[in-house]
Structure 1
């Protein structure tokens, strides 16, 4: 699983890292281009300023020298012309633009030509008007240089703007990487969660006590390791389950054999088969008889509890018709029903279930047993069945004392016994409703108590039902 998580993280992080590097590269290029453009604009602006100032100084010095014929003015002119030459040569060295180089070369050539015309040998051959005409050519060249410099500046600014728009577009396009990364993350999340859900399903199967099905799993090594540990636990739990069930069956059988002899001997004595009994002996026989009956009930509850522990019974699901199952449970309790002269009202409709018949019989028997136990003499117990969508509700309604509010949350605890009914001589084991709750949990059913004006209503709800009706 660790390798799978690392792989998923790599697939999610890789597009984001690539997008980040791409964006950083574009921004770096844009910054560099902007810096170069600013430097070139500053250079061209400075060139225009220096060129304008230098030409103005040269024209003034040349005109004054031509009129005054002063050597100091001549030296100043030569110095200024050399400065102009240095400016032009430096610009030609730094700026490779051919058009600008041609214009600057023309200015340099024209200034050198003026310098030669103002030499002491040729001074008498040039007039002030001719000199001004030569400088007009330089002014024209200077204007062309300024115009061309402005066009270069505008071109550079347009290039920077286009680069900026392109970078912005690329950055916005790179944002599409985010939903792609989220989709990749979601994909790997599904890949990781799906086997986890399968493992959770296996664990829930174990939780329900189903130790029959082997736990197999194919996938990442980590998941297979967890599945292997679960399989080892399942085998161990299944073994313990079989041992417990076997022990309970054997001990119950061993208890029932001497109990049968005790009951048979007690009945013989109680019926005066070995001679008449006095009142004290009769009382002792009654105690033995009730104790034997209670012990038999405890053994039956123990056997019912063994059904809860026995995971092999979970797979024995079948199509069940509710009416015969209820009739079978009622017939097994006929002696208790006749002893209290109870009336049992059964449902007038019938329902079919796909469930475990053995476990359902234990559930109904325990609920009916409680209803008989708490019903008054000559009372009525009503059984109802209601079909709702794909579920069925079976209600058992008695006329007893009901279930007090403080006992309702405790009646499902093992060995808990509530207030016994009046004149009751038989105590329960406290396992009946615990068994019911556990079996209904395995059958995906529920149980609910409701106190009525007279008595209580116990309702169980079971799935996988379909209605049929008695004719």
Structure 2
């Protein structure tokens, strides 16, 4: 095909000639775009350092938005190229149709003028006929230049060359044959031009389908890429938040090993993390002060407590003289107060010892033997209150736990059941494996614990409202010790509802393998 330089149809003709080149260049631009985006992301990850949470959020949003911007850019380019192709094809089809109509009109003029000259040979008619033949030849040449692969052009030119000798025609049959050949060639030319137009329309449809296919794949790829970048950006934001959550959990569980402090990241989150580490250090200091205070206070109280108790015994035995009844009553009150104060000191020492034991030592424990030993320890107190302990534990049941912590928890639960259980009623202790845990229930009859009080009853120095059977005011540390022991063993203690008892405390201990 020859180039239409200087006409309005040069771009569309070039586009039709270079279909594969156009697609190659378009794909090359897309690949170059993706390569540019890949290089940008690499440079962004290596050079840009996130300094603030705002920068991280805005940067993540921008990175996730880049693929969508690339998709819009490519869609706009495809739309522009398709719009240009459609507009130029439409203009070209209108132009070719108009040219074919003019060729047919000129063909009719040539036939009419040639026939008129044969009837009335005048110079004026010959000039008009020659002018019409020349105009017809120019139109044919122009159309043939537009479509260089039309085979009928040579035939038409040959017919025009023969027809231009019409002044020498003496036979009308020869003239009719020449005009008939010209009309037939003209119709064949129209058919061939129509075929070329149909091919161009088919190309336009194929090109549109290719754009749609490429647009669909590009959309799917870029949407997946944008979603992936969004997920990665979300992880960049969630990761430091999870780190803060793990730090808070470590502080709440009083873990000795804290996560490593972050050096790089958003300064807001680093500042929060630094404050949490400071808070942990502060809590450790306060914990040490509290432990030291309890240790020194309980130790210092034992010496004068022993002297007061010994003095009360001397007075009560009359070693310093006979006491009157009012004096005996005062000594009895002092003795009771001394015993109550001694119980508070023992509880403080027990709680202080629990706070100092941070790491339990696990070993195999026969649970039935431990519970029997605990119940034997309270044999006299049980007999005094007309109570008994009913044990429902399998003789083969063993648990891997710290014997000191577990015994301390059981002592406090049994002591609590004796102190608050109904006189003359049994105390039930049962244990069994349930799933991946060993559960131990200590149940007694008596006043039920309100739901509102169950949440705070395991806090230190929190006491129930009901009076104890031994008339001793407790320190409010027994159930707190049970809770701390269960926590150190990796479990917990809760109050559950059970049909067999009014009050049921349940200790849950995870089942472990003995590594010894």
Q: 1:98 aligns to what SS in structure 2?
A: coil
Out of 109, 113, 129, the position equivalent to 1:77 is: 129
Out of 421, 434, 456, the position equivalent to 1:388 is: 434
Farther off after superposition, 50-59 or 220-229: 220-229
Structure 1 residues 56-455: aligned runs within 5 Å = 56-69=108-121, 73-74=125-126, 76-81=128-133, 83-85=135-137, 87-88=139-140, 90-91=142-143, 95-100=145-150, 103-104=152-153, 107=156, 111=160, 114=163, 117-118=166-167, 126=170, 128-174=172-218, 176-177=220-221, 178-179=223-224, 182=227, 197=242, 200-210=245-255, 212-216=256-260, 221-222=265-266, 230-306=276-352, 310=355, 313-319=357-363, 321=365, 322-323=367-368, 325-326=370-371, 329-330=374-375, 333=378, 336-337=381-382, 339-346=384-391, 348=393, 349=395, 351-377=397-423, 379-403=425-449, 407-408=453-454, 411-412=457-458, 415-421=461-467, 425-442=471-488, 443-450=490-497
Q: Is the 8 A contact 1:362 1:436 kept in 2?
A: yes
Q: Distance in 2 between matches of 1:134 and 1:156?
A: 33
Q: Distance in 2 between matches of 1:51 and 1:379?
A: 123
Q: Distance in 2 between matches of 1:354 and 1:201?
A: 27
Q: Distance in 2 between matches of 1:205 and 1:388?
A: 28
What is the CA-CA distance between 1:234 and the residue it aligns to?
A: 3.2
Q: Distance in 2 between matches of 1:386 and 1:39?
A: 91
What is the CA-CA distance between 1:465 and the residue it aligns to?
A: 5.6
TM-score by length of 1: 0.79
Residue 40 of structure 1 is matched in structure 2 by 92
What is the CA-CA distance between 1:370 and the residue it aligns to?
A: 1.5
TM-score by length of 2: 0.73
- Structure 2 residues not aligned, in runs of 5+: 1-49
Per the alignment, do residues 396 and 90 of structure 1 end up closer, same or farther by CA in structure 2, a change over 3 Å counting? same
Q: 1:314 aligns to what SS in structure 2?
A: coil
Q: 1:44 aligns to what SS in structure 2?
A: helix
Deviations 1:31-54 (A, max 9, x none): 444444333333332222111111
Give the CA RMSD over aligned residues.
4.0
The size of the alignment, in residue pairs, is: 456
Q: Distance in 1 between matches of 2:183 and 2:347?
A: 123
Deviations 1:299-325 (A, max 9, x none): 3333444456x3x52322322523454
- Structure 1 residues not aligned, in runs of 5+: none
Q: Distance in 1 between matches of 2:149 and 2:513?
A: 97
Q: Distance in 2 between matches of 1:257 and 1:383?
A: 38
Q: Distance in 2 between matches of 1:89 and 1:393?
A: 104
Q: 1:447 aligns to what SS in structure 2?
A: strand
